[in-house]
Amino acid sequence: MDKFVITGGTALAGEISASGSKNSALPALAAALLTEEPVALHRIPRVRDIRTMQRLLVDIGSKVEVEGDRVRLETPRVMCPEAPYELVKTMRASSLVLGPLVARCGRARVSLPGGCAIGARPINLHIFGLEQLGARINQAHGYIEAEAPEGLRGAVVHFDRITVTGTEDLMMAAVLAKGETVLRNAAREPEVADLADLLVKMGAKIDGAGSSTIRIQGVERLRGTEHTIIPDRIEAGTFLVAGAITGGDLTVTGCNPDHVGALVSKLQQTGADVTQPDATSVRVRGGGRLRSVDMTTEEYPGFATDLQAQYMALMTQVEGIAIIVETIFENRFMHAQELARMGANIRLDGKQAIVAGPRALTGAGVIASDLRASASLVLAALVARGETVIDRVYHIDRGYERIEAKLARVGAKIRRVE
């Protein structure tokens, strides 16, 4: 397994670009199953999760052509409407094919995701929604088997809790259902709105995407189209924290500043100088004494749970005590123990972490437990004294496109050891 070797102590400076959003690209790839015509997607990040989804789509029957950050998909016929455990266990977003397959061919067989390092992300909300749309659901042998031989029909679906993938899955199912579907308490994330934009280009009728109520008027068929994926707000946010934590002067280009508004607000409260040079860039200067600021994760437009680990790394380097509350996932503090190995002063108390700083971190051997935890370890290593070796970086490869190369270009002393 690959490792990162990082020598800390360098302030990052220069420009670093954001790739396309992984969390937007995954449902977009799944949406290509809804039509037999070609769908071309641009700005697809070259990360591990995307390769897994492409492999799944090929197994289902799609023709997938990759050229740089452009992916062309064509599914004239669904050969095997199934997502096997071997793929779903490595990437839970594989379950996003459930809605499109039931809508397109009236049946689907998708593995239950099972456990996850950062806590349960149950698929029961997907199942409930599909049942409301008229699908018959059976769970057996670790799989969800859904059938709608007469097609899906519109309905009002109220989610008991906000779910991003559930909203996306039901939206894709509803575009080919008969009549109107209303999704209430829907996720408002930019990735949901981006998926809706793609579906509308394909001929879907969707209103309200990006709000808590989405209305979908079903159509008989969808057509092919071209679409460019939005920038990755989590990657952009990670780089902004990298600039702040190293006391550098870093400009993140090719991003959407509105999508990282909650993080920018927190960085400004710490005392970091954050400005917007233009419509697609954010600049952070982290020189001077930064102070602690409490944070609670929330659904969008609140502070993203996917940036919580990175923010915790920053709080180890600022003056005072910060209380970080995790409200989305029940087991997303696994990085705290590894940060403590590097010298961080962190105490866990249920859903909150109390971080006291500033602490002089020292390089150590650490293990990445999940995608965003691994990013926090990279950030900590950038300011630690000496050398840090991060094992199991395949986690970070799931969602960051060659992060070591991007960071090296702005001054980080980081290399991959194969």
Convert the pLDDT of each residue in 137-175 to its tens digit. Answer: 998 888 999 999 999 999 999 999 999 999 999 999 999
If pLDDT is split at 50, 70 and 90, which confidence band does 86 have? Answer: confident
> What Å distances lie between residue 125 and 24, 121, 163, CA to CA?
20, 10, 8
pLDDT above 80 (res 45):
yes
Between 390 and 119, whose confidence is greater?
390
* Cβ-based neighbours of 130, under 8 Å, separated by 6 or more: 98, 99, 102, 137, 146, 148, 152, 170, 173
* DSSP percent split of the chain into helix, strand, coil, nearest 5: 35, 30, 35
Going by pLDDT thresholds of 50, 70 and 90, the confidence category of residue 122 is low
In this predicted model, what pLDDT tens digit does every residue of 277-313 receive, in sequence order?
999 999 999 878 999 999 999 999 999 999 999 999 9
Number of Cβ atoms within 10 Å of the Cβ of 115: 9
* pLDDT score at 116: 45
Its pTM stands at: 0.96
How many C-beta neighbours within 10 Å does residue 130 have? 28
In whole angstroms, how large is the CA radius of gyration of the chain? Answer: 21
The alpha helices in 202-350, defined as continuous H runs, are 233-245, 261-270, 308-315, 334-341
Summarize pLDDT for 229-282 with one digit per residue, the tens.
999 999 999 999 999 999 999 999 999 999 999 999 999 999 999 999 999 999
Q: Over the chain, what is the mean pLDDT?
A: 94
Beta bridge partners of 14: 250
CB atoms within 10 A of CB 118: 23
pLDDT in tens, 194-233: 999 999 999 999 999 999 999 999 999 999 999 999 999 9
Catalytic residues: 116
Delineate the domains of the chain, giving CATH numbers in brackets: 3-18+231-417 (3.65.10.10), 22-228 (3.65.10.10)
- CB-based contact 34:222 (threshold 8 Å): yes
Question: What pLDDT sits at residue 142?
Answer: 86
Q: How far is CA 142 from CA 106, 107, 137, 294, in A?
A: 20, 17, 13, 41
- pLDDT category, 118, cuts 50, 70, 90? very low
- CA distance readout (Å), 154 to 3, 73, 157, 192, 202: 49, 27, 9, 19, 19
